[in-house]
Amino acid sequence: MRHTRIAIALATASLALGGCAALGLDESTAGDSATAAEGKQWLVVDAGKATPSPGETTGKAIATPEVSLSLPAPDPSCTKLWPRTEPVMIPVEVTPGAGSLAVEWPTQGLSDYKITAVLQDLVVGAQPEPVWIPVPPGKGCSVSTTISGLIPGEAYIVWLDAPNTGREVDGTRRLYSGRSGVVYPQ
């Protein structure tokens, strides 16, 4: 135990007095003397090979190209404003009729549509699959259709899907779905 303390004390004194030379390393293994003279710190990561300490590096500023999307110019003859509450929702306007719902929404490019009215009654067990009605692409400012065969006075929510609205640059679908609040056919 006494010899170990003496060995540690001698090694510490040798390092303090002689640095790398005390360990048997000369200038060729300790790194470039010019860099050492500049005050650079060194970390030994591989026995006998000095590596500069990590430090901050500054880069060169370069222009990054930006992606710009341009939507088709709105038709000036389309004067109705459609509020958008969520970015992926197509606004839907529903007018109740006798056992039916008249539904209107803004045209979404050249997409075709599918629409359904989902009954809001609680059902025990599996929910019935909604019956989707196909709707062709619109030619004007808006598209409309009527969903019939509904139970008067019952609560429904209208769902709309525009599956072919295209994709953004990042691959996400453009505005593609919409839904109404609760509506009641007369």
Give pLDDT, residue 81.
82
Which tens digits make up the pLDDT trace of 13-29? 555 555 555 455 555 54
Report DSSP state, residue 107. -
The Cα–Cα gap between 143 and 132 comes to 16
List, in sequence order, every beta strand (DSSP E) within the chain: 42-46, 49-52, 93-97, 100-106, 113-119, 133-135, 142-148, 156-161, 177-183
Give pLDDT, residue 160.
95
Give pLDDT, residue 109.
77
* pLDDT at 43 exceeding the cut of 70: no
Give pLDDT, residue 99.
95
Give pLDDT, residue 69.
40
The Cα–Cα gap between 144 and 59 comes to 56
Which tens digits make up the pLDDT trace of 118-154? 999 988 998 889 999 999 998 889 999 999 999 999 9
State what percent of residues in the chain have pLDDT above 70: 59
Give pLDDT, residue 92.
93
Q: 153 with 185: CB under 8 angstroms?
A: yes
Domains annotated for the chain, with CATH where assigned, are: 2-52 (no CATH), 93-183 (2.60.40.10)
